[in-house]
């Protein structure tokens, strides 16, 4: 089963899938090893990890799709890639969708922010006019359909950030048109209350995604509550990045004081990275066996 088909199967379940977001191949491997069904390459976290800079449109299409390819190659669960605004006009969106599919992504997110985009829970967001937003999603859907004709596949996750600048009604209306155009998953970013989350899910068809940023604008609800509201996916874009950064800072400060912080056992570390699997496979080749 392809990654896209696996994702469709997951979305057909009566369940809100907890989706920790990754930022590189190692974080994605840990997510898969811990038994999660899917993951998302967080643009915020990937930008921080790859170039050490904020998610403000600084990473290029080539850098982002390369990061997605490395992640998808390392795991066997569906990966949703962050395609941002599509990196240009509608024709660029088509190329972006095709590139993410070729990289191994099960889905790609395309949003209606004005380029350069910004993190959905930070100041200064603005969205393009409706027609340009619709053209982006139409182009993404057209690219998906062309891929299917050639034996490929990918799902389109359509995102709107219109809530911030134009209110919830505009955001819901845009997302409804995205669905009419053929988007597979809908994502209305940064609702500010449970009531707004309920309005989104009750007024829009198909699978919806919630984006839970600890300390962000959207209520951080238990998974059961998100399912009852109507969400199919609960994304946690910064949880692993924040945990990793906190652990690294704590370790660095402990080392400065000549202390040894609590660390993962060296044997488990090697195993999770893949040393044990490598050594087991290498036994089939005399020239590659360990001494």
Exposure class string for 126-141: b at 16+ Cβ within 10 A, else e: ebbeeeebbbbbbbbb
- Find the helix packing angle between 130-149 and 90-102, rounded to 10°: 40
Give the Cα separation of 38 and 275 in Å (integer): 24
Cβ within 8 Å of residue 199, ≥6 positions away: 168, 172, 191
Global pTM? 0.94
Q: Tokens representing 41?
A: 């390459």
Give the Cα separation of 285 and 191 in Å (integer): 56
Reduced to 3 states (helix: H, G, I; strand: E, B; else coil), residue 108 is strand
Strand order in the sheet with 79-82: 185-188, 155-160, 107-111, 79-82, 39-41, 17-22, 233-236, 209-211
Residue matched to tokens 């829970």: 121
Q: Tokens representing 223?
A: 């998974």
Give the Cα separation of 196 and 229 in Å (integer): 10
DSSP class of 258:
T
Give the Cα separation of 48 and 127 in Å (integer): 23
Output the tens digit of pLDDT for each of the chain's 291 residues: 899 999 999 999 999 999 999 999 999 999 999 999 999 999 999 999 999 999 998 999 999 999 999 999 999 999 999 999 999 999 999 999 999 999 999 999 999 999 877 665 566 679 999 999 999 999 999 999 999 999 999 999 999 999 999 999 999 999 999 999 999 999 999 999 999 999 999 999 999 999 999 999 999 999 999 999 999 999 999 999 999 999 999 999 999 999 988 899 999 999 999 999 999 999 999 888 765
Residue 202, φ and ψ in degrees, nearest 5: -80, -20
DSSP E strands, 38-115: 39-41, 79-82, 107-111
Give first-to-last CA distance, the chain, whole Å: 38
Per-position DSSP letters for 4-30, written without gaps between them = HHHHHHHHTSSS-EEEEEESSHHHHHH
- Find the helix packing angle between 90-102 and 61-74, rounded to 10°: 20
Reduced to 3 states (helix: H, G, I; strand: E, B; else coil), residue 163 is helix
CA torsion sign for 228, 215, 213, 93 is: positive
| Residue-range domains of the chain with CATH | 3-238 (3.20.20.60), 247-288 (no CATH)
């Amino acid at each position: 089963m392809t990654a896209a088909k696996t994702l469709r199967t997951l979305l057909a379940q009566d369940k809100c899938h907890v989706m920790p977001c990754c930022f590189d191949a190692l974080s994605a491997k840990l997510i898969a090893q811990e038994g999660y069904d899917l993951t998302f390459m967080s643009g915020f976290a990937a930008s921080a990890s790859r170039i050490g800079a904020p998610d403000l449109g600084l990473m290029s299409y080539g850098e982002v799709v390369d990061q997605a390819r490395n992640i998808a190659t390392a795991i066997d669960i569906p990966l949703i890639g962050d395609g941002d605004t599509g990196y240009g006009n509608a024709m660029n969106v088509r190329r972006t969708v095709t590139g993410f599919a070729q990289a191994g992504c099960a889905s790609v997110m395309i949003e209606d922010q004005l380029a350069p985009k910004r993190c959905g829970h930070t100041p200064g967001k603005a969205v393009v006019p409706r027609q340009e937003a619709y053209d982006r999603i139409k182009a993404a859907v057209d690219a998906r359909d062309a891929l299917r004709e050639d034996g490929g596949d990918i799902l389109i996750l359509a995102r709107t950030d219109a809530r911030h600048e134009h209110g919830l009604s505009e955001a819901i209306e845009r997302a409804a048109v995205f669905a009419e155009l053929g988007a597979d998953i809908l994502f209305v970013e940064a609702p500010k209350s449970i009531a707004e989350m309920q309005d989104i899910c009750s007024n829009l068809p198909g699978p919806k995604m919630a984006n839970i940023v600890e300390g962000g604008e959207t209520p951080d609800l238990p998974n059961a509550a998100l399912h009852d509201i109507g969400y199919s996916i609960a994304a946690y874009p910064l949880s692993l990045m924040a945990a990793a950064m906190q652990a690294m800072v704590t370790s660095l400060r402990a080392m400065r004081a000549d202390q040894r912080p609590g660390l993962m056992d060296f044997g488990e570390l090697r195993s999770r990275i893949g040393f044990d699997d490598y050594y087991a496979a290498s036994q089939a080749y005399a020239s590659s066996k360990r001494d």
